[in-house]
Amino acid sequence: MNFELKTVSLAQSSRLAVDALLVIVPDAWAGEKSADDPLSLLLRQVTEHGDLEEGTGKYLMCYRPVGFKAARLLLARAGKGSPAEVRKAVTTAMGQLRQPGLRKLGVVLCALDDVAASLFPAMAAVADASYVYTTTKPSAKAASVREVMVAVPAADAVRARFEHASAAVHGVEVAREWANRPANHATPTMLADAAKALARKAGFHCQVLGEKEVEKLGMGAFLAVAQGSAQPLKFVVLHHQGGRKADAPIVLVGKGITFDTGGISIKPAAEMDEMKFDMGGAASVLGTFAALSRLKLPLNVIGLIPACENMPDGRAVKPGDVVTSLSGQTIEVLNTDAEGRLILCDALTYAERFKPRAIIDIATLTGACVIALGAVRSGLFSSDDALAAALQEAGDAALDPCWRMPMDEEYAEGLKSNFADMGNVAGRAAGSVTAAKFLEKFTAKMTWAHLDIAGTAWRGGTNKGATGRPVPLLLQYLATQSAQGADAPARKKSPGRR
| Amino acid at the residue 206 | C
> In which element (H, E) is residue 428 found?
none
From the list 267, 294, 459, 464, the catalytic residue is 267
CA Rg value for the chain: 24
Active site annotation includes 296: no
Inter-residue contact 224 to 357 (CB < 8 Å): no
C-alpha to C-alpha distance for 68 and 71, rounded to whole angstroms: 8
Active site annotation includes 64: no
C-alpha to C-alpha distance for 227 and 308, rounded to whole angstroms: 9
Helices 159-180 and 471-484 cross at an angle (nearest 10°) of 140
User: What is the DSSP annotation of 305-357?
Assistant: EEEEEE---TTS--TT-EEE-TTS-EEE-S-TT--HHHHHHHHHHHHGGG--S
**Closest by CA position to 293, among listed 407, 171, 418:** 171
Angle at 171 between CA 170 and CA 176, to 5 degrees: 100
Sign of CA dihedral 168, 435, 303, 383: positive
> In which element (H, E) is residue 185 found?
none
Q: Are strands 20-25 and 104-108 parallel, antiparallel or unpaired?
A: parallel
C-alpha to C-alpha distance for 156 and 149, rounded to whole angstroms: 15
From the list 77, 176, 341, 377, the catalytic residue is 341
Polymer length in residues for the chain:
498
For residue 427, the Cα-to-chain-centroid distance in whole angstroms is 29
Where would I find the H helices in 139-253?
A: 159-180, 188-202, 211-217, 220-226
Q: Which residues are identified as catalytic?
A: 267, 341
